[in-house]
Structure 1
Amino acid sequence: MEPAAVTTPPATVLAALMQQLEMRPEQLVARINERRARRGSFPLSLKAAYPWVRGKHPQPDNQADALAVLSARAGRCITASDAGWDAPRPRARHRHLDAPGDAPLEALLREISLGDIMDRRNLLMLTGAAATAPALALLLGPIAEAAAAPTTVRPSERLVSSIEAAVRGLREMDDSTGSADGDLTWGLGIWQSASRVVAQAHGHGPLVERLQTAYVELCEQVGWMLFDARQHPQAQRVYHTGMRLAVETAASLPTRHATANLVASTAYQAAWLGHHNDAAQLLDIASRTPDLPAAVAAVIADRRVYAAGRRHDPDAVLRFRDEALQHLGSPDEHTPWWATWLTKESVDAATGRAWLACDRPSQAVPFLSRRVEAVSPVDFPRDRLLAVLDLADTVHKCGDGDQARDLLDQAEGLIGTISSQRLLHRYKTLSATVAA
């Protein structure tokens, strides 16, 4: 004898009503769309009723249509109460990560530490004033009240050193493998855990200042990994969180320099995505940071080279290239560890990429050729892949399809060694263009 089938009771009043009427969500929407068509409205997706069945209230016009359809099906008047829609519409929960630049720091860090908020699919990329406001707030200096807050938990030397080491380890991992899923998961986990520590450690003192600097460095690194994974809204939220910390604390000079680097990386993302005004404004803010070490000023100038190329400003490309090389030629004793990556060859790469963006591929060839020769496929495979793709794009635009295909073959060999959705997307797009 077969066991009796187990039926799951309906989860909502509407689900129970539709079960009673033997009506599926798709059927409900199909009948609604017939009504919408008669008045010239666009049809709803056939999946539109599933959120209603799970408890979400439809918009007023959709609710009126749905009640009319349900009434026709039932042969009697179906009211909002009958469908479970008589209660007030549930209010969307406000999330601080939707606008980190405006959020109270403690509440923001607490929300981050809860986890999985960055997995949301409905985050939007912010542009214009919303994108640059957190950086502009840096120019006003820290909030006095926040700077005077007492320490809640005094961090230990061992804890701070561990966080600093974790940030450096994450950078080394990212340089060698790119933004692989496992690496990114690990990075976000460190970011969430560090947020909890920072939320408990306000106040002054060398250890707190080191902790704040490490957290800003961590925001820059995790933001870069999300950018490389083409998770652009998430990257922006992480960048803005680092800026928010700098605004609400009595930031030490190392923290402010790390923040300038973070703002420059935010600008690089904006330039990559074509948000040229945002990129220019962010880089202007970063360059105003006081007492910048020469290496940090060179990093910012290097980012300005690329941004100038993206907005088709050749005079600015030359000006910022000279500025970057001048800073590199005047080293001092205050170079942060995260700024040591920049070399003359790196500036060449930015210059070549800028000329390519300016539609001057012939000027880009010598710079990008030197970059391909200089960067190691073993130590920095992602940088090597980017350089090879840049050069392939350049020689293709110069009319040399054979060399472009040879370079794409090199790129295909490198793709298997790293994980970078940003460069994989570019490789596929460029391959299709060359093949055509």
Structure 2
Amino acid sequence: MEPAAVDAPPANILGALLQQLGVRPEQLVARINQLRARRGCSPLSPKAAYPWLRENPSLPQPDNQSDALAVLTAKAGRCITASDVGWDLPRCRARHRHLDAPGDAPLEALLQEISQGDLMDRRSLLMLTGAAATAPALALLLGPITEASAAPGGARLSDGLVTTIENTVRDLRSMDDSAGSSAGDLTWAIGIWQSTSRVMAQTRGQGPLIDRIQTAYVELSEQVGWMLFDARQHPHAQRVYHTGMRLARECTTSLATQHAAANLIASTAYQAAWLGHHNDAAQLLDISGRTPDLPSAVAAVISDRRVYAAGRRQDPGAVARFRDEALAHAGTQDGRTPWWATWLTPESVDAATGRAWLACGQPSRALPFLTSRVEAVSAVDYPRDRLLAVLDLADTVHKGGDADQARDLLGQAEDLLGRVSSKRVVHRYENLSAAVAA
């Protein structure tokens, strides 16, 4: 007769407590996921608790730790604190996270990490500059690391799922285009990005549906990255952009994916120019413009970004040259305009030109462009764009010596503030108000 099986002793304090309470690790995570669902967060992997149970355990992120302690307290009928499970001890050397450098990460592991973690909890992310900022985009010119292949145990895609993801990306763009994104909107957008990352990790391969979902994921990364940029969460925006680039490295069959990646890189360059990282912006835009077989509308978007970047680095000759390029591309109808490039019009190029002349310290050249922009953009449909246009014009007339008109325009801007959720634009309003008051 064989002896009865005996469970191995728990490896750490948390394991002993779970054994005492009769709770399996998967049950703990299931209860945590119930709490996360109430906040609109994506669920953790059912195996997420196992790293917490090792002999040398990793510690959960702050939100996951709070949720776990709440679940354990409810189950035990007494207060369970961090010290009760050994989570108050000094942390060991920080575990390497793929999101710190998405461009170098194994794609499937990166997508899994994104789908399981809370991006918003990563307060330690730093803005990357120089080679670290541009390498993921440059790698797109070198071709894929490996051929894309189906992930083990991958799920089968349906047309309905892919169409839903595509429509969701468009809905996000429509929502953000008007007034920017509130904290709730951004939480929802990041949740969609994380959930789509999980789908991507399970369904890599080849075929028309794969091409479509890869394109949608790159478009989604551009949109969520832009929303984070607009919320002044710049390191987080950069990691989302880089993740989209990392996915694009394995998408060699679809021109639509490559064109979406070109747009994503151009948005990354716009962020770099906004922050004053002029060399990074120039290199990113050069990479974006070298994408093969660009539709004229996409080439116009890239040239429009070049106009703004040239102004920020105070290069008047480049401003004029890239303005001509943008208008030429925008005036060419080749019938291949992606949905996300329809915003680019000659009036949009004029607005970028006015901002560029303002950044160049030439307010007299900026004035007619920015005056026209204020007159053209609707405060009802696009309050964020209207607010930005009014601030540009206020800055222009202030630099031209007309403080009274600048104050009048700031009054108009103040009326719009309550309708706009863009921290980037609100921060600009505060800085400009202080400059005019001084």
Match of 2:395 in 1: 393
Alpha-carbon distance in 1 for matches of 2:431, 2:287? 33
Match of 1:8 in 2: none
Alpha-carbon distance in 2 for matches of 1:170, 1:242? 16
Alpha-carbon distance in 2 for matches of 1:105, 1:351? 38
Cα shift at 1:154: 2.1
Q: Deviations over 1:207-255 (max 9, x none)?
A: 1100000000000000000000000000000000000000123341000
> Do the aligned residues in 2 keep the contact of 1:150 with 1:202 (CA within 8 Å)?
no
User: Which residue of the other structure, out of 238, 243, 246, is the alignment partner of 2:245?
Assistant: 243
Mapping of 1:100-115 within 5 angstroms? 100-115=102-117
Mapping of 1:188-203 within 5 angstroms? 188-203=190-205
Mapping of 1:132-143 within 5 angstroms? 132-143=134-145
Cα shift at 1:179: 2.0
Cα shift at 1:286: 0.2
Alpha-carbon distance in 2 for matches of 1:220, 1:425? 22
Cα shift at 1:142: 2.2
> Do the aligned residues in 2 keep the contact of 1:147 with 1:249 (CA within 8 Å)?
no
User: Which residue of the other structure, out of 340, 363, 366, is the alignment partner of 1:364?
Assistant: 366
Match of 1:232 in 2: 234
Match of 2:418 in 1: 416
Cα shift at 1:402: 1.0
Alpha-carbon distance in 2 for matches of 1:148, 1:323? 41
Aligned to 2:148, the other structure's residue is in SS state: helix
> Do the aligned residues in 1 keep the contact of 2:151 with 2:201 (CA within 8 Å)?
no
Match of 1:405 in 2: 407
Match of 1:382 in 2: 384
> Is 1:287 the equivalent of 2:286?
no
> Do the aligned residues in 2 keep the contact of 1:142 with 1:251 (CA within 8 Å)?
no
Mapping of 1:163-174 within 5 angstroms? 163-174=165-176
Alpha-carbon distance in 2 for matches of 1:429, 1:284? 31
Count of residues in Structure 1 that have an aligned counterpart in Structure 2:
354
Does the C-alpha gap of structure 1 residues 256 and 147 become closer, same or farther in structure 2, counting only changes over 3 Å? farther
Cα shift at 1:331: 1.5
User: Which residue of the other structure, out of 254, 266, 269, is the alignment partner of 2:268?
Assistant: 266
Q: Deviations over 1:227-285 (max 9, x none)?
A: 00000000000000000000123341000000000000000000000000000000000
Q: Which amino acid aligns with 1:211?
A: I
Q: Deviations over 1:376-434 (max 9, x none)?
A: 11111111111110010000000011111111111111111010110111000000100
Mapping of 1:274-353 within 5 angstroms? 274-353=276-355
Match of 1:51 in 2: none
Cα shift at 1:149: 6.6
Q: Deviations over 1:305-339 (max 9, x none)?
A: 00000111111000000000000111211100000
> Do the aligned residues in 2 keep the contact of 1:356 with 1:394 (CA within 8 Å)?
yes
Does the C-alpha gap of structure 1 residues 121 and 148 become closer, same or farther in structure 2, counting only changes over 3 Å? closer
User: Which residue of the other structure, out of 211, 224, 228, is the alignment partner of 2:213?
Assistant: 211
Aligned to 1:168, the other structure's residue is in SS state: helix
Aligned to 1:264, the other structure's residue is in SS state: helix
Match of 1:184 in 2: 186
Alpha-carbon distance in 2 for matches of 1:217, 1:423? 23
Q: Which amino acid aligns with 2:128?
A: L
Alpha-carbon distance in 2 for matches of 1:284, 1:180? 33
Alpha-carbon distance in 2 for matches of 1:251, 1:195? 20
Alpha-carbon distance in 1 for matches of 2:313, 2:387? 24
Does the C-alpha gap of structure 1 residues 391 and 158 become closer, same or farther in structure 2, counting only changes over 3 Å? same
> Do the aligned residues in 1 keep the contact of 2:397 with 2:406 (CA within 8 Å)?
yes
Match of 2:225 in 1: 223
Q: Deviations over 1:141-171 (max 9, x none)?
A: 2234335878822210000000001000001
Q: Which amino acid aligns with 1:320?
A: F
Aligned to 2:420, the other structure's residue is in SS state: coil
Q: Deviations over 1:171-226 (max 9, x none)?
A: 11111230211110110010000000011111111111000000000000000000
Alpha-carbon distance in 2 for matches of 1:184, 1:208? 26
Q: Which amino acid aligns with 2:211?
A: E
Q: Which amino acid aligns with 2:298?
A: V
> Do the aligned residues in 1 keep the contact of 2:303 with 2:322 (CA within 8 Å)?
yes
Alpha-carbon distance in 2 for matches of 1:190, 1:219? 10
Q: Which of these two proteins has the greater Rg computed from alpha carbons?
A: 1
Taking structure 2 as the reference length, the TM-score comes to 0.78
> Do the aligned residues in 2 keep the contact of 1:147 with 1:250 (CA within 8 Å)?
no
Alpha-carbon distance in 2 for matches of 1:88, 1:399? 57
Taking structure 1 as the reference length, the TM-score comes to 0.79
Alpha-carbon distance in 2 for matches of 1:114, 1:194? 11
Aligned to 2:147, the other structure's residue is in SS state: helix
Cα shift at 1:88: 11
Alpha-carbon distance in 2 for matches of 1:379, 1:399? 32
Mapping of 1:55-70 within 5 angstroms? none
Aligned to 1:238, the other structure's residue is in SS state: helix
Alpha-carbon distance in 2 for matches of 1:105, 1:332? 34
Alpha-carbon distance in 1 for matches of 2:429, 2:221? 27
% identity of equivalent residues: 77
> Do the aligned residues in 1 keep the contact of 2:297 with 2:342 (CA within 8 Å)?
yes
Does the C-alpha gap of structure 1 residues 226 and 88 become closer, same or farther in structure 2, counting only changes over 3 Å? closer
Alpha-carbon distance in 1 for matches of 2:305, 2:170? 21
User: Which residue of the other structure, out of 161, 174, 183, is the alignment partner of 1:159?
Assistant: 161
Q: Which amino acid aligns with 1:347?
A: V
